[in-house]
Chains A and B, each alone.
Chain A
Amino acid sequence: MDTITEIIRALLDPAVLPITAAMLAGAVAYVLSRSQPVVCRFLGLIGAAATLGFATAIAQSPPGDFSVLWFQLAGDVSLAVELGPSALGMIVVIGSAVFSLLVAIYSVRAMAGQYWEGKFYAYLLWALGGACIVGLAGNLLVLLVGWEIVTLMLFLMVNQGRRDAKAGAAKAYAILGFADACLLLAIVLLAGQPGGSANWSLSGPAVSAGDMGPIGYVIYALIMVAALAKAGAVPLHTWVPAISQEAPTPVMALLPASVDKLLGIYLLAMLALHMFRPDAAMQVVMMIVGAVTIIAAVMMAMIQHNLKKLLSFHAVSQVGYMVLGIGTGTTIGVVGGLFHMINHAMYKSELFLMSGAVSRAVGSDEIADGGGLARSLPITFTCATVAAMAISGVPPLNGFASKWLVYQGALSIPNRGLGMVLIVVAVFGSALTLASFVKVLYSAFLSAPPKGARQDRRPVKEDFFLTAPMVVLAIGCIALGVMPGLAIEGLSEPAIVGVATTGAMPVAADGVVSLPQGLWSPGQATVLILLGIGIGAGLVWVSTFGRKIRIVRPFLGGELPEPSDERFRVPGTQFYETIRKLPIIGGLLDSGEAGAMDLYHWSGKHGGSLVQMLRAQHTGLVSVYVSWCLIGLVVTLVYLLLSAGI
């Protein structure tokens, strides 16, 4: 009886409440999933809202750390459930809860009538619970549990998707499972080091990786692999495009677009700020991974013809900016990288929601099938334009604010030449991003619809449940762009504390580190831009006073085409054929399409030949098997004898 009360008391601890709320609501939804899918909808909304509420309460008045010793292993290794709310962790928790809530609202319409609608909400809530565990975790072991839950939920949700979803889900699970295994291995290795399980702490100051000898670098690399795979950085990114086409849109908007980014970058930040002090070489590796990710993924995105696949390549490309920012190890760069994580989650999840609305309207994800939607979906179009401008880093939107910080960080690293290359890559990456979103907006919303599309298309209208989350996210993109101070203040505290402890920044005499003064003030620029538009509009209005805009036929050199005449329709998919035909670059793009950057593909290919070699040894002769067994036995014996010193 005592144990039960103790468990209940633990579950109702203020530090645990967000996790409890999400997990419990998810469990109830799972039980009711078959019989009462409509109740599950409400559970999804309420569960996410409750989690958000409890998480906000923690952020406002942080409760003490929660710690329960579960199991004392030999010596200094103890398995304990430790939760310690930190500023950065709470941003992850609250962010995950907000995105879950928005996706739950969107899904009320988007998932309605799906055979697994009830289960979807259960998985969504459990994924949120997992994200909360990660954000609240006080040590790596607890973090791993939440990490695994999110991976599993991603697999379960993607698996329910369309036609070939299972192959993509398996690929995602293989890559993310590999990442989880890396994290587990790192945990085990850490426990074997002096200090034992104290090494798992996520709140202590960072230590130098070199202090542990070569094993320290191995551990560092393993954790970095786990974080980068979750966030989706090159070369462990391929699971994102692989699941994008077949997975349900809300799943894409929730996990790869926002929550997985929050988790992956959170772990990367924890690694660099609270676990190991990265030395110069590690920082260079991280920054180069970031730069390659930016440019390789965005080049691939530009030539995609499937809307969701295009978006998923951008979801990879943008990770590059975050990794680059954190890799710089400077306060301003780290703040920029973390800020970009929040911004990216906002606009990318908006864009995935947009892609869902578009494919509902058009009945296809192919860019070439879209067109003419700006008239029927004006709000979706406006929100998508805001998000597209934000992801391309057009000032004064949020994407620009964070990229700008990252550039500053890149220029203040000791190796100036490298910093310069990084800035060029990052700026050019955002020009390429812009280019591919020009294609998306033009093809989906502005171009004429393709022939034959008009007859069988349903008349589409804006839908409250689909539109409301997009509007909220678009407003968020504008607000954080105009007033980046809101986020920067929240982020600079953990970043500054972290960077100060890693010793990457010179600490002032009084021990206070602060951001450089004289930052770009987007507020003023925004006022000026709005004023400029206002004055211009006023001038135009005065000069055309009393006259109406005359609607005329477009000028086509005197031709009077039928509305469905394909000769007068310019499809957006042809925009970048010129670039595909270029020497060198065209070839690189083609090999990229064929999977040259795909570690999964490579391991599959070479793993296959390895299996063939092993298979060749299976002759079926008992004598061969027995001799192998004997050889193994002898080797083991020799090893044991030698290690016992005999």
Chain B
Amino acid sequence: MDLGVTILVWMAAAAGTIVLGLAFRWVDRLVTARVQWRVGPPWYQPGADILKLMGKETLMPTTARGTGFLLAPLVAVAASTVAAAILWRAVLSPQSTFLGDLIVVIYLLTIPAIMTIAGASASGSPHASFGAAREIKLLLSYELPMVIAMMTAVARTGWSLRLGGILEAQAQAPVVLSVSGAIAMVVAILCMQAKLGLVPFDMAEAECEIMSGVYVEYSGPSLAMFLVSNAMLLALLPLLIIVVFWGGLNTGAWWGWLTFAGKYVLLVALATLIRNTNPRLRIDQAVRFFWFYLTPLAILAAALAIVGEARGISWL
């Protein structure tokens, strides 16, 4: 595929993901408001927030390293857009994906977190430093169960690291319709919650404790860029889970798009529900949770998947 077409695909995927992400942000805020007996914002509120921030001036603390501080949010958005292009292309035309793109997507989706850490470190604020230290520990803790869960799906789909191959193998039955697949998907959903920085895993931001931690010194357009990047993750991570565990988009039937949208909204609503019904964990509690509870669970899923695959037991 030549570069022109690639750029077009990329721009469409990026724009679509941003719009979708902001829409999901609205869903998230609306459900939260309803849980708290409030009316909630109108549908355009997340977009309006971004536009408002874009019009504000940029503030930079005296302690900051300017280039890194201002570049970090841009890199975060740029990496998310590339991940969006790869994922959407896999959803819409599974044949055209390249070898090992699952690994590429997993790595690209860590870049926003890395850039949050980099920007926070570059701001020179002690609050941000605490936030950065928590964010990197959180990244370490969820990465392990997340990768094991993904590999479980890889085991169930004929050992392919290609998103297209994973989707094609799920044409009959999605991964989640097996014991190992279901366990792995639960693990992946909890990891998604941490990757999105939502309660109970929002210790890196912790508004009332370290004053938004990693974002404390960000304002105006730079903050807007981080919000865009977060909104994109809100659209991309459920999409990744749908692709890897839940069969992706089944366009063969007329209800394909409908079920796809249903899965999507269900995952986002689930994340919102978890965030509204749980208190924030401490970072050490989060590390223990992911390493000592979720990781063994994920290993169990992986072991079941390998046994199932070796013995030809499709439900295991």
**A contact set with B: CB distance below 8 Å:** 374-375, 385, 389, 393-395, 400, 404, 407-408, 411, 416-417, 419-420, 423-424, 427-428, 431-432, 434-435, 438, 441-442, 445-448, 516-521, 524-525, 527-533, 536-537, 539-540, 543-544, 547, 549-557, 568-570, 572, 574-576, 578-579, 581-583, 585
Contacts and interface: CB of A to CB of B under 8 A. Distances in A.
Count chain A CB atoms within 10 A of each CB in B60, B108, B121, B130 and give the residue with the most.
B121
Given A374-B65, A441-B121, A555-B217, A428 B147 contact: yes
Contact of B62 (A445, A524, A530, A554): A554
A202 to B, nearest CB: 32
Contact of B54 (A442, A518, A529, A543): A543
Interface secondary structure of A, over-half rule: helix
B100 A416 contact: no
Interface string B82-120: 100100000000000011110110111011001001100
B12 interface: no
B159 A416 contact: yes
B74 A537 contact: yes
A551 B66 CA distance: 10
Contact of A550 (B57, B99, B108, B136): B57
B58 A550 contact: yes
Contact of A518 (B99, B126, B217): B99
B117 to A, nearest CB: 6
Contacts of B74: 532-533, 536-537, 540
Nearest to A527: B3
A570 B129 contact: yes
A543 B55 CA distance: 6
Interface string B242-269: 0000000000000000000000000000
B62 A411 contact: no
B155 A568 contact: no
Interface string B275-296: 0000000011001100110000
B137 A394 contact: no
Contacts of A530: 78
B287 A579 contact: yes
19 contacts: A374-B65, A374-B68, A407-B100, A423-B151, A448-B124, A528-B6, A532-B14, A532-B79, A533-B75, A533-B78, A539-B221, A540-B58, A540-B225, A544-B58, A549-B66, A551-B59, A551-B60, A555-B61, A579-B137
B60 A525 contact: no
A407 B101 contact: no
B306 A431 contact: no
Contacts, number: 221
Interface secondary structure of B, over-half rule: helix
Given A374-B65, A442-B132, A524-B6, A556 B222 contact: no
A424 B147 contact: yes
B273 interface: no
Given A442-B121, A539-B54, A570-B129, A520 B100 contact: yes
Contact of B137 (A549, A557, A578): A578
A61 B31 CA distance: 71
Contacts of A556: 125-127
B161 interface: yes
Nearest to A563: B63
A551 B61 CA distance: 6
Contact of B98 (A448, A518, A528): A518
A381 to B, nearest CB: 8
B2 to A, nearest CB: 10
Given A442-B121, A581-B284, A575 B60 contact: no
A529 B3 contact: no
A374 B14 CA distance: 33
A159 to B, nearest CB: 38
B62 A552 contact: yes
A375 B124 CA distance: 12
B186 interface: no
Interface string B149-174: 00100110001010000000000000
Given A442-B121, A569-B126, A434 B85 contact: no
Interface in B118-150: 118, 121-127, 129-130, 132-133, 136-137, 139-140, 143-144, 147-148
Contacts of B79: 529, 532
B302 interface: yes
Count chain A CB atoms within 10 A of each CB in B3, B59, B108, B129 and give the residue with the most.
B129
Contact of A408 (B75, B100, B124): B100
Contacts of A518: 98-99
A620 to B, nearest CB: 59
Contacts of A575: 133, 136-137
> Considering the complex of A and B, which 4 residue pairs feature the smallest CB-CB distances, nearest first?
A532-B78, A554-B61, A570-B129, A543-B54
